[in-house]
Structure 1
């Protein structure tokens, strides 16, 4: 996305704590005792489990707050994929004066399906426990690893990068993020969060996304004022699975540019 958008937009990407090149914990961790501003309702109750863990969407949003403050970025659109979309929504709530709007890619939900989530959490934990370093060296593992998530094969470079990111992720962060982002409390909080955001929020959905189906994207989008009964804030991308920014990069970049530029 950055290679396409940076032609006329200033872009910044970063690794979540515990992933990529970001450490799980550092000596300079920000104090999460109090939110920095924004929503003051029970959604941001600092006595709740939102701030008990380093890996809840709210805690990750606090990391983003600290990053933007450190870089003195006072005006930004936040773009997040899947869980990143949830984190972007929370960050928008925490920083209403800095965040101009949010674009969620393959992100939605807000409906807690007990059996489905329990199976997902259990399978995810088992999957994360088996991550040998040599996994990324297996022939064609990159294509097999992403096959269930996409509607069209990925470019081999990006497919391989996803395998590497998976293998090197901090174990505590990987499991913590999986568990803390899929609790009943966390999932059920999303619709109210979206309904209270004053900034524009748009949702890009993959028409063939089996991980976050378009109907779940539309469900969460419907709680925002821009929905207007006919999903005005939802853009469905044809021939696209759960990795829209890699499967249909030109289409995604085009939609992002149009939204940010107000066209």
Structure 2
């Protein structure tokens, strides 16, 4: 997997078609959530890569994109994605984000509308005051005890009733693989985040929610859908699924994204 340097950050990414999207296909850019990496999306990529270019990124401070102490926020993560698109000569893309990455994808669509063909927000977090309090507590735990308390807790509490032991093991490994300093930096991103300018979003929007998601509850997803200006906006709710949608229900998510973009782009 190659690296690219943008905004003084060395980011790891994967590109299914480095030479450009296949004829008639689209380019997708994927932004993962807190405690995760680009590998979160790999279960859904087989539904897309036969006909589309898929670029997955390790957000700064996550996965293989090493944290070097730079401050960041939702806006800077969105700008990192745009600069990576510039470097890879991607003029526009379908932007797919999960959780914090979903919030980032919505921000990107509101601020860089000319670069976005459509948005897929998977379990997007709508920032509230209570969200900030939750992640401030998480910062304290990780500062004192590292990633293990998160790895022991999150796979059980943030997944749905259909989640398997293997899926929970993968989530645990994703979390254990995080650099605590990078994770804390991204917790601060979430705790200080403000809502994107939803009204500025006019491109087609697909929101995918889990009916058992406690981290990005359905009410928040409905709030987002109700406030975007897109003439095409779809909410899909997955039964028995928690917050790790692409791991818990990869085939369902992949099919929904493929179907939505085929119909609306």
Query: Can you list the C-alpha shifts for 1:39-70, whole angstroms capped at 9, x where unaligned?
Result: xxxxxxxxxxxxxx632111111110111000
Q: Distance in 2 between matches of 1:212 and 1:118?
A: 13
Q: Distance in 1 between matches of 2:51 and 2:155?
A: 31
Q: 1:12 aligns with which of 55, 60, 79?
A: 55
Distance 1:243 1:98, change over 3 A: same
Q: Does 1:168 align with 2:177?
A: yes
Q: Which runs of 5+ in 2 are unaligned?
A: 1-43
Q: Superposed, which structure 2 residues align to 1:122-133 within 5 Å?
A: 122-129=136-143, 130-131=145-146
Distance 1:8 1:19, change over 3 A: same
- Cross-structure match for 1:181: 190
Distance 1:122 1:208, change over 3 A: same
State whether residues 19 and 170 of structure 1, in contact with CA within 8 Å, keep that contact through their aligned partners in structure 2.
yes
Once the two structures are TM-superposed, the CA of residue 12 in structure 1 deviates from its matched residue by 1.3
Could you tell which deviates more after superposition, 123-132 or 239-248? 123-132
Once the two structures are TM-superposed, the CA of residue 97 in structure 1 deviates from its matched residue by 2.0
- Cross-structure match for 1:148: 157
Distance 1:54 1:201, change over 3 A: farther
Q: Distance in 1 between matches of 2:97 and 2:50?
A: 20
State whether residues 106 and 204 of structure 1, in contact with CA within 8 Å, keep that contact through their aligned partners in structure 2.
yes
Q: Does 1:56 align with 2:65?
A: no
- Cross-structure match for 1:252: 253
Q: In structure 1, the residue corresponding to 2:81 is in which secondary structure?
A: helix
Runs of 4+ in structure 1 displaced over 6 angstroms? none
Once the two structures are TM-superposed, the CA of residue 157 in structure 1 deviates from its matched residue by 5.2
Query: Can you list the C-alpha shifts for 1:88-115, whole angstroms capped at 9, x where unaligned?
Result: 12222343222101110011424x2x4x
Decide which structure has greater strand share.
Answer: 2
Distance 1:7 1:158, change over 3 A: farther
Q: Which runs of 5+ in 1 are unaligned?
A: 27-52
Distance 1:198 1:143, change over 3 A: same
Could you tell which deviates more after superposition, 122-131 or 71-80? 122-131
* Paired residue total: 220
